[in-house]
Amino acid sequence: MKFYANRLKKKEIKKNFEAYIFLIPNLILFMSCSLYPVLWALKYVFYQYGGYGAAEIRFVGLENLARVFRDKVYWQSIMRTFTYGFGKVLIIIPLAFLLAYILKERKKINTLAQSTIFLPTIMSSAVMGLVFYLLFNAYNGEINKILMNSGLIHQPINWLGKNHAMKTLIMTAVWGGLGNYMVYFIAGIQQVSTEAIDSARIDGANETKTIWYIILPMLGPILKIILMLAITSAFNDISNVMVLTEGGPNNATMVASLYNYRYFFPVSTTESTVPQYGYGAALSVVTACVAGLVTVLYLKVSRKLDDIY
Amino acid sequence: MKSKSVLSAVAMVMCVIFLFGGCANKGNVDKPTGTTESGKSETKGENKEAKTEETKKDEPKPENKNEKTIINIWTKDRHDAKYVQAKVDEYNQKSQDVEVVYTLYTDNYQQAADLAAQNGELPDILVFQNNVFDKHFGQGQWADLYQFMDEDMKKYFADVIIPGLNELDGKLYFIPTTGTACRLFYNKEIFERVGIKEPPKTLEEVLEYSRKITTELKGEGIYGFAGNMKSASSALNRSMVVGLQRETGTVSGYNFKEGKYDFSGWKDQLLLWKQLLAEDSAMPGCESLDIDPLRTQFAAGKIGMYFSYSHAEPGVYANQFPMDSAKWDAVPIPTTGGKVIGKQNFGATSAYILNAKSPNLETAFRVYKELFTSEEYLTGYYEGGYGVSIIPAIIEKANPSEDYKNKKWLRIHPEMDAILPKAPHAAFAAGIVVEGENMYKIAESVYYGDADVDAALADLNERYNKAYQEAIKNRTGYEIKIPNYDPMNPTLK
């Protein structure tokens, strides 16, 4: 019996030989770039380690994890991540859908508009951050100049100050990600059955009703994925925050990913600073758990979206 | 079937090439430390007599006489990059056997050095930076310069060899040739316009003048004060923290006499800073300001006062963001009520560290000596306004830029500036782990009005002392207590 099972297994391997070969690069990359760092981080959760050049690696047991739960600034950064993610999703999803709906037809002008809107997606977010700094800074930013010249405001707005910095960050994130989500929606809208839309129109449904009762419900499954991508990406957004505000003023824009990053790559040219890899790893693991929890909750809540078809 | 097998084999080979190609050491491609390129073989330097057997063994033998040894130098300094690059080009033209590759890293200097150290790819020579030096010192990463220096060189730099700073356990690791001190920079023209006759001597006057300028000239987009507050540590380490050294005799809140942290002396300054950064005084948008955008605004005549380093600003306003030299000047950092009980730290700069693990260590030293310690280089550096020389022979001989001649406080003043000892959290940076936000972030929360000053400082005292005691207990740090410490005559330990 065992002999036959082995033979069957060998036959199966031989049959899928090419598939295995093509899987190898991905497997190696996955193991070296995803799995290994995760295992590495899991190991250092239990150590106090200042990175290469540090005096020693000290086993501290669960102390790093306990410290995470005592760290008020970290939990505030998690709440800010939610604000940032929620704000971003709230604006970007309806806007991307509207643009996709308007530009869905394959016309030259639409293609041009789509490319223009998609362009920020392929731009470096660090460069984007710098450009937005020039636009938003309070002392000679272009946005303030335009608003003041048009008489809409009389005093420059401190866009990157304590009261407005988070809103400004959300705006830059929306600008940077809009094209991407628009493309997802265009792909989704093109899958919607034209017969269903035509039947609705024959039955007298206007544009708004067609969108609300036909297109949106039929976009359910893809909407679920888009929302999930938007939520999870909000947990990873870091570069534009770093360039624009560095998490300030006074942590007003300190999102979880940047807070974690600071422990791996402390930035100070003026004073001796060493990374805290152990604590950084603990923060990353807890953040991953929070993100996982949010995703699971979302998938549970959004199960309804799967039942459309 | 056969074609399928061939296809599979080709795909496999391609995958392997792709993967290992990506992971391969770039060394042979980019010619890093120790590689050579066409040119002439290594010359016999003037330090030949100082050559040790060990370094002789380490030195790679050029394959043929047409090869040049590549010496890599990394820097983090933008302000003198143009000058140094010109000197490097000149050196490369003259040199028969060595080619110097000069690379500028700025904000990511420390990270680049850390990664390179980890991979064994550090360059032969690096610009000295505290973090980089401290972090890799324990691994024997830096070369003892004494092993190559002749008596003349030792004598020439004797005044800048300071035990406890650059000479540790009888070994010399770097030679600073310039110094930098933190000062208050002000726009003379703006001061004149609003009728301020003298620069401020106290922090209260800074606040008063700042408010006056902002009130009177805000309509023209001119404000009294600005700080590069985007990074609290960068901003405060060139201003408040330095001022507090003179005002309280402590270093970053550490009292050397008592051997403990005491941040209570920060209260008055923090409360004044809170007002200084308020709307009626500071330039709007300071919260997200970096030092270079700040300098552009100062050069444009939009800022009355700001704090920075004396070595960098003359070069910046001469080359980077041109500004009429007659319009600005610098004064010592004002303290609360003008109180002074100690000296302030000055940074020993323009120093280079040599990678002890470089296969071309001896050649690297020769390049370092010929390039960065020659009188011509040091004189040009001082005269060009890239740094304030601290080498007596250069000070005597050079004809420094007008800025350094006319602006007294750009120079180092021994009656006010000294090398101060490091506080424990800086001396044992890897061993003392302070839980929670650091002193700069806490200061930030106070001056932005989000925290009560007394509670914040009490919390700092508790956390820093706790981490310090913990480190002593775990032997990851050691007690630093100097019972006879005199802030006016500080000693290094």
Whether B451 and B406 share a structural domain: no
The predicted complex's ipTM stands at 0.81
How many angstroms separate the CA atoms of B137 and A123, rounded?
40
CATH code for the domain of A152: 1.10.3720.10
Whether B421 and B388 share a structural domain: no
Confidence of residue B22 (pLDDT cuts 50, 70, 90): very low
Distance from CA of B426 to the nearest CA of A (A): 5
Whether B49 and B142 share a structural domain: yes
pLDDT score for B213: 97
* Among B410, B432, B448, residue at a domain's last position: B410
pLDDT at B144 over 70: yes
Confidence of residue B302 (pLDDT cuts 50, 70, 90): very high
Confidence of residue A235 (pLDDT cuts 50, 70, 90): confident
Whether A74 and A37 share a structural domain: no
* Chain-chain contact of A21 with B237 (C-beta, under 8 angstroms): no
pLDDT at A219 over 90: no
Distance from CA of B43 to the nearest CA of A (A): 34
The whole-number average pLDDT for the span B361-381 is 94
Asked if B329 contacts B407 with a C-beta cutoff of 8 angstroms, the reply is yes
Asked if B253 contacts B464 with a C-beta cutoff of 8 angstroms, the reply is yes
Whether A143 and A33 share a structural domain: no
- Within-domain flag for B79: yes
Whether B224 and B193 share a structural domain: yes
pLDDT at B61 over 70: no
Q: Which residues does B406 contact at the CB level (< 8 Å), separation at least 6?
A: B325
Write out the residue range of the structural domain in which residue B81 sits.
32-179+348-410
Question: Which carries the bigger pLDDT value, residue B58 or residue B153?
Answer: B153
A238-285: per-residue pLDDT in tens? 888 888 888 889 999 999 999 999 888 876 544 556 788 899 999 999
Locus of tokens 């007002």: B275
pLDDT score for B105: 85
Whether A37 and A82 share a structural domain: no
pLDDT at B21 over 70: no
The whole-number average pLDDT for the span A217-228 is 87
How many angstroms separate the CA atoms of B144 and B356, rounded?
8
Whether A9 and A123 share a structural domain: no
Q: Which residues does B23 contact at the CB level (< 8 Å), separation at least 6?
A: none
pLDDT score for A307: 63
- Within-domain flag for A254: yes
pLDDT score for B5: 62
- Within-domain flag for B436: yes
When mean pLDDT is compared over A124-128, B77-81, B148-152, the highest value belongs to B148-152
Confidence of residue B14 (pLDDT cuts 50, 70, 90): low
How many angstroms separate the CA atoms of A56 and A72, rounded?
27
Question: What domain count does chain B have?
Answer: 2
Whether A16 and A141 share a structural domain: no
DSSP assignment of A158-187 equals -TTSTTTHHHHHHHHHHHHHHHHHHHHHHH
Q: Three-state SS for A289?
A: helix
pLDDT-wise least confident of A66-80, B103-117, B119-133, B335-349: B103-117
Q: Which two tokens stand for residue A244?
A: 């624009």
Whether A10 and A95 share a structural domain: no
- Portion 125-154 of A in contact with B at CB < 8 A: 133, 137-141
Whether B450 and B371 share a structural domain: no
Whether B280 and B336 share a structural domain: yes
Mean pLDDT, chain B, as a whole number?
A: 86
pLDDT score for B43: 35
The whole-number average pLDDT for the span B136-151 is 91
* Chain-chain contact of A274 with B293 (C-beta, under 8 angstroms): no
The whole-number average pLDDT for the span B163-190 is 92
Whether B399 and B454 share a structural domain: no
DSSP assignment of A204-219 equals T--HHHIIIIIIHHHT
Residues of B in contact with A71 (CB under 8 A): 435-436
Asked if B119 contacts A279 with a C-beta cutoff of 8 angstroms, the reply is no
How many angstroms separate the CA atoms of B337 and B204, rounded?
7
Whether B318 and B375 share a structural domain: no
Nearest residue in A to B442, CA atom: A250
Rg (CA), chain B: 26
Question: Which carries the bigger pLDDT value, residue B349 or residue B357?
Answer: B357
Confidence of residue A55 (pLDDT cuts 50, 70, 90): low
pLDDT score for A305: 67
Report how far apart, in Å, the C-alpha atoms of B104 and of each of A294, B78, B82, B113, B136 are: 43, 7, 10, 12, 20
Instruction: Report percent pLDDT > 70 for chain B.
Output: 86
- Within-domain flag for B27: no
Tell me, yes or no, if B76 comes closer than 8 A to chain A by beta carbon. yes
- Within-domain flag for B173: yes
Whether A178 and A32 share a structural domain: no
Whether B135 and B262 share a structural domain: no
- Give the residues across from B306 on adjacent strands: B185
DSSP assignment of B81-109 equals HHHHHHHHHHHHHH-SSEEEEEEE--TTH
pLDDT at B41 over 50: no
pLDDT score for B430: 76
pLDDT score for B314: 87
Report how far apart, in Å, the C-alpha atoms of B159 and of each of A126, A225, B295, B379, B387 are: 45, 68, 33, 17, 17
Locus of tokens 């990463």: B141
CB pairs under 8 A between A and B: 148
Question: Which amino acid is located at B370 in the chain?
Answer: E
Report how far apart, in Å, the C-alpha atoms of B221 and of each of B173, B285, B383 are: 48, 12, 35
Distance from CA of A109 to the nearest CA of B (A): 39
Could you say which of A48, A161, A271 has the minimum Cβ distance to residue B287? A161
A87-120: per-residue pLDDT in tens? 999 999 999 999 998 888 777 777 888 888 888 8
Whether B207 and B165 share a structural domain: no
The whole-number average pLDDT for the span B119-135 is 89
Tell me, yes or no, if B49 comes closer than 8 A to chain A by beta carbon. no
Whether A14 and A138 share a structural domain: no
Whether B334 and B450 share a structural domain: yes
Which has the closest alpha carbon to A245: A56, A53, A60, A84?
A84
Asked if B185 contacts B328 with a C-beta cutoff of 8 angstroms, the reply is yes
Q: Which two tokens stand for residue B6?
A: 């061939």
Q: Which two tokens stand for residue B79?
A: 């302000």
Asked if B126 contacts B355 with a C-beta cutoff of 8 angstroms, the reply is yes
pLDDT at B59 over 70: no
- Within-domain flag for A63: no
* Chain-chain contact of B297 with A139 (C-beta, under 8 angstroms): yes
- Give the residues across from B72 on adjacent strands: B101
Whether A80 and A188 share a structural domain: yes
* Chain-chain contact of A269 with B109 (C-beta, under 8 angstroms): yes
Tell me, yes or no, if B233 comes closer than 8 A to chain A by beta carbon. yes
pLDDT-wise least confident of A258-267, B23-32, B254-263: B23-32
pLDDT score for A18: 84
- Within-domain flag for A116: yes
* Chain-chain contact of B288 with A53 (C-beta, under 8 angstroms): no
Question: Which carries the bigger pLDDT value, residue B64 or residue B131?
Answer: B131
- Within-domain flag for A52: no
pLDDT score for B9: 61
Distance from CA of B195 to the nearest CA of A (A): 24
Whether A145 and A38 share a structural domain: no
Question: Which carries the bigger pLDDT value, residue A213 or residue B196?
Answer: B196
Predicted TM-score (pTM) of the model is 0.81
Rg (CA), chain A: 25
Determine how many CB atoms are found less than 10 A away from the CB of residue B230. 24
pLDDT score for A75: 96
Distance from CA of B284 to the nearest CA of A (A): 6
Tell me, yes or no, if A19 comes closer than 8 A to chain B by beta carbon. no
Whether B142 and B37 share a structural domain: yes
Instruction: Report percent pLDDT > 90 for chain A.
Output: 37
Write out the residue range of the structural domain in which residue A33 sits.
2-44
DSSP assignment of A34-84 equals IIHHHHHHHHHTTEEE--TT-S-EEE-TTHHHHHHHH-HHHHHHHHHHHHH
- Within-domain flag for B139: yes
B448-485: per-residue pLDDT in tens? 988 999 999 999 999 999 999 999 998 888 999 999 99
Whether A121 and A263 share a structural domain: yes
Confidence of residue B380 (pLDDT cuts 50, 70, 90): very high
How many angstroms separate the CA atoms of B97 and B61, rounded?
12
- Within-domain flag for B312: yes
Residues of B in contact with A249 (CB under 8 A): 229, 287-288, 444, 448
Could you say which of B117, B233, B237 has the minimum Cβ distance to residue A52? B117
Instruction: Report percent pLDDT > 70 for chain A.
Output: 92
The whole-number average pLDDT for the span B216-245 is 94
Question: What domain count does chain A have?
Answer: 2
SS3 content of chain B, % helix, strand, coil (to 5): 45, 15, 40
Residues of A in contact with B285 (CB under 8 A): 137-139, 141, 158, 160-161
Report how far apart, in Å, the C-alpha atoms of B174 and of each of B149, B225, B349, B350 are: 12, 37, 10, 10
Question: Which amino acid is located at B8 in the chain?
Answer: S
A123-146: per-residue pLDDT in tens? 887 788 888 888 998 888 899 999
* Chain-chain contact of B237 with A50 (C-beta, under 8 angstroms): no
- Within-domain flag for B22: no
CATH code for the domain of B245: 3.40.190.10
Report how far apart, in Å, the C-alpha atoms of B324 and of each of B187, B217, B286, B307 are: 10, 20, 24, 19
pLDDT score for A268: 57
- Within-domain flag for B480: no
Q: Three-state SS for A274?
A: coil
Whether A97 and A35 share a structural domain: no
pLDDT at B40 over 60: no
pLDDT at B415 over 50: yes
* Chain-chain contact of A25 with B18 (C-beta, under 8 angstroms): yes
* Chain-chain contact of A70 with B435 (C-beta, under 8 angstroms): yes
Determine how many CB atoms are found less than 10 A away from the CB of residue B282. 26
